[in-house]
Structure 1
């Protein structure tokens, strides 16, 4: 399961226009809804914000992974945003978030969720990847950067 097989160019924004955690989540989710009209917008946003209310998904080191499992989805969908300067996202380490990957999972497939989140954790802790992503200026560069690192991982 590769990020580049899931992340669509039209679901990447650099930088997002929103200035708050809520605005950014809504903006990334809207990119997903435009690309995947079969996904229920209200249920998705409700699930994401419920998850955020339990504990922040800003895991530290400038990375946030807001996510939810939703009915009606048959595959993982992603929205991706980069802030060069960072934004307050209630991060566990108190640092601004620069890389945000919003994920919608199909409800009921916990194994899929855990495998994908574990993969993202490996990527998130790769300082070279994170630095390269922060240097990206457009969606094509983001996809190319993920592709290069996935080739290293699978080789």
Structure 2
């Protein structure tokens, strides 16, 4: 399965408002739960618990909040770009503008790790990060990800 097939323009949200890490994760949980058999509260709890283990911020203004949840039947990826940078992690200096939220079932840990690895590799490119922060259309965001991950399989 190609990772770009898991990203749908309907699951890309731009200009998202959040004032804190908890607010950001709650807001993206509302967006990520749409169409899934889990509530936004369950998603938020999973993301917050994972974040307590260590920040999912990867630098450059990006983070990959993720968790494994019962009720998720496969990898579900939601993208969100915040209107303003949000402090992530233990340092107020670590701020995030863009998140790739990755949800997966607990019985598919290898697929979960492959998705995280693929996204992290893609976001190593400064050019890709810049494009994701500048493009103002969800379909174009998906195109950027598709071009960046062409050939990337899970």
Secondary structure of 1:13's counterpart equals: strand
Deviations 1:32-52 (A, max 9, x none): 22232x124333222111111
| Within-5 A mapping of 1:89-128 | 89-90=88-89, 94-128=93-127
Runs (4+) off by over 4 Å = none
Deviation at 1:96, TM superposition (A): 1.8
Match of 2:52 in 1: 53
Q: TM-score, normalised by structure 1?
A: 0.86
What is the deviation of 1:137? 0.5
Q: How far apart in 2 are the matches of 1:29 and 1:48? A: 8
Query: Higher helix fraction: Structure 1 or Structure 2?
Result: 1
Deviation at 1:153, TM superposition (A): 5.6
In 2, Cα distance between the equivalents of 1:29 and 1:116?
18
CA contact (8 A) 1:57 1:91 kept: no
TM-score with structure 2 setting the length: 0.86
Q: Could you tell me which residue of structure 1 aligns to residue 61 of structure 2? A: 62
Q: What is the 5 A alignment of 1:71-86?
A: 71-83=70-82, 85-86=84-85
Q: Distance in 2 between matches of 1:103 and 1:67?
A: 5
Per chain length, whose mean CA-contact separation is higher, i.e. which structure has more relative contact order (CA < 8 Å, sep 6+)?
A: 2
Aligned partner of 2:8 in structure 1 is 8
Q: CA 1:4–1:92 in structure 2 vs 1: closer, same or farther (change >3 Å)?
A: farther
**Whole-Å Cα distance in 2 between the matches of residues 108 and 88 of structure 1?**
32
Structure 2 gaps, min length 5: none
Check 1:4–1:91 CA distance in 2 against 1; reply closer, same or farther (3 A cut): farther
Pairwise CA RMSD: 2.2
Assess if the C-alpha contact under 8 Å between 2:78 and 2:101 holds in 1. Answer: yes
Contact 2:17 2:84 in 1 (8 A): no
Distance 2:121 2:65 in 1: 16
Q: How far off its partner does 1:84 sit?
A: 6.3
Q: CA deviation at 1:58?
A: 1.0
